[in-house]
Amino acid sequence: MVTGGSSGIGLATVRMLLTSGANVAFCARNKERLYSVANELKQEFGTNKVFVSAFDILDEIAVTDFAENIKTKYGRVDLLVTNAGQGRVSTFESTTNGDWREEFDLKLFSQIYPIRAFQLMLEKAKGSIVAVNSLLAYQPEPHMVCTSAARASVQSLLKSLSIEFAPNVRVNSILLGLIISGQWKRRFESREDRAITFEAWLKKLAQEKNIPLQRLGNPDEAAAAILFLGSSSAGYITGAQIDISGGLSKTI
Ligand code: NDP
C-alpha cells in the first residue's frame, strides 16, 4: 500500500513494486490523475495487480474503508509506504497559527491514520512500514520552519513505533533532500525567469543548494531505498533512516 501513489516518488515506488511482482494499492486526491495512472499500470501489469481509491489521507474514514477493501481483495498487506503530502515554504514571520496547525495535522496524521488502519494486517504478515520524510527533520531550514518542525516530530513518532511494533512490524524511513517530482515541477511553473528550461532551472537549483553530487535526485533513486527497507534484505533494520540527499546532510 502506497499513499500518494499517482505522482513523483509514490508513483516510482508503485511502478518498482509492480515490476518486482507485488500487488499494489495506492491512493491520491485527484481522481482524474489517479485513474489515468492506474489504467496505464493495469494495462502494463494486469488489472488485478493494481487497486486504487481517490481520497484525502486526512479523511480517516476513507483510509479505514480502503484498508478494509484491500483486506477483502488481497487478504494481506506486507508493506505500507506513507508518502502522501507536500512541503510548506514559510518563515516564522509568515506562518500563521492556522498554518502551524495545518502543517502538523498533515505531517502527523498522514502517518497516524494509515498506520492505524493497516497495523493489524501488517502484524499478521510480519510486514513493514517505510515513511517518506525529509532531511529537514534533522537539518531544519528557516524558510521551511513549520515543515522542518513537523518532520522532526514524525521521526520521533516513527522511532517510538519501531519499538512498540517490534518484533512483528519493522518501521523505517527515508530522508529526502531534493528529488525531482510534481512538487518541483509546480515550483518551476511559478519561476521568475520565464525563459529558463526545466533542465537549466534544476541545474541552477542544485548549484544554489550546494548539493555535493551536483544534481537533484530521481524518484527511482528514492523508490529503490523504499523497496530495500521494505524487503527481507532489510530484515534486521528497524527504527532507522536512509538519507537520500546527494550528500546534502551535514550530520555524521
Ligand atoms: P508529488 O507532488 O509528485 O506527489 C505527491 C503525491 O501525494 C501525489 O500522488 C499526490 O496526489 C499525493 N497527495 C498529496 N497530498 C495528499 C493528501 N492529502 N492525500 C492523499 N494524497 C495526497 O510530490 P513528491 O513525490 O515530491 O512527494 C512525495 C513525498 O515526499 C511528500 O510527502 C513530500 O512532502 C516528500 N518530500 C519530497 C521532497 C522532494 O524533493 N520531492 C523533499 C522532501 C520530502 P494528489 O495531489 O492528487 O492528492
Please check whether residue 139 is in contact with residue 96, taking contact to mean a CB–CB distance below 8 angstroms. no
Q: Quick one: CA dihedral 91, 154, 129, 251, positive or negative? A: positive
Grid look-up 502543517 returns 103
Structure confidence at residue 169 as a pLDDT band (50, 70, 90)? very high
Instruction: Please tell me the predicted confidence (pLDDT) of residue 84.
Output: 98
Instruction: From the CA of 33, give the closest atom in ligand 1.
Output: 47
User: Would the CB of 33 count as within 6 Å of ligand 1?
Assistant: yes
Half-sphere exposure for 99 (CA within 13 Å, toward CB): 15
**What does the mean pLDDT of the chain come to?**
97
> Is residue 251's pLDDT more than 90?
no
User: Would the CB of 6 count as within 6 Å of ligand 1?
Assistant: yes
User: Would the CB of 248 count as within 6 Å of ligand 1?
Assistant: no
> Is residue 183's pLDDT more than 90?
no
Percentage of the chain lying above the pLDDT 70 cut: 100
CB atoms within 10 A of CB 5: 29
First to last CA, the chain: 32
Each residue of 17-45: pLDDT tens digit? 999 999 999 999 999 999 999 999 999 99
User: Would the CB of 63 count as within 6 Å of ligand 1?
Assistant: no
Instruction: Please tell me the predicted confidence (pLDDT) of residue 100.
Output: 98
Question: What structural domains does the chain harbor?
Answer: 2-177+218-243 (3.40.50.720), 180-216 (no CATH)
List, in sequence order, every residue forming a beta bridge with 26; answer none if it has no partner: 2, 52
> Is residue 159's pLDDT more than 90?
yes
For ligand 1, the distance from its centroid to the CA atom of residue 129, given in whole angstroms, is 17
Instruction: Please tell me the predicted confidence (pLDDT) of residue 43.
Output: 98
User: H helices within the chain, ranges in order?
Assistant: 8-19, 31-45, 60-74, 97-125, 145-164, 182-189, 198-208, 219-230
CB atoms within 10 A of CB 137: 23
Q: What is the pTM of this model?
A: 0.98
Each residue of 50-62: pLDDT tens digit? 999 999 999 999 9
User: Would the CB of 56 count as within 6 Å of ligand 1?
Assistant: yes
> Is residue 201's pLDDT more than 90?
yes
Instruction: From the CA of 136, give the closest atom in ligand 1.
Output: 43
Instruction: From the CA of 28, give the closest atom in ligand 1.
Output: 21
Mean pLDDT of 203-221: 97
Structure confidence at residue 144 as a pLDDT band (50, 70, 90)? very high
Mean pLDDT of 65-82: 98
| Residue nearest ligand 1's atom 25 by CA | 8
Q: Mapping DSSP to helix (H, G, I), strand (E, B) and coil, where does residue 103 land?
A: helix
Q: Hey, what's the cell of 218?
A: 530521481
If we measure between CA atoms, which residue out of 102, 99, 110, 107 comes closest to residue 58?
110
> Is residue 207's pLDDT more than 90?
yes
For ligand 1, the distance from its centroid to the CA atom of residue 6, given in whole angstroms, is 9
Mean pLDDT of 241-250: 97
The per-residue b/e assignment along 26-57, b for 16 or more CB within 10 angstroms, e otherwise, is bbbeeeeebeebbeebbeebeeebbbbbbbeb
For ligand 1, the distance from its centroid to the CA atom of residue 28, given in whole angstroms, is 9
Mean pLDDT of 176-194: 92
> Is residue 143's pLDDT more than 90?
yes
| Residue nearest ligand 1's atom 1 by CA | 182
Grid look-up 512500514 returns 129
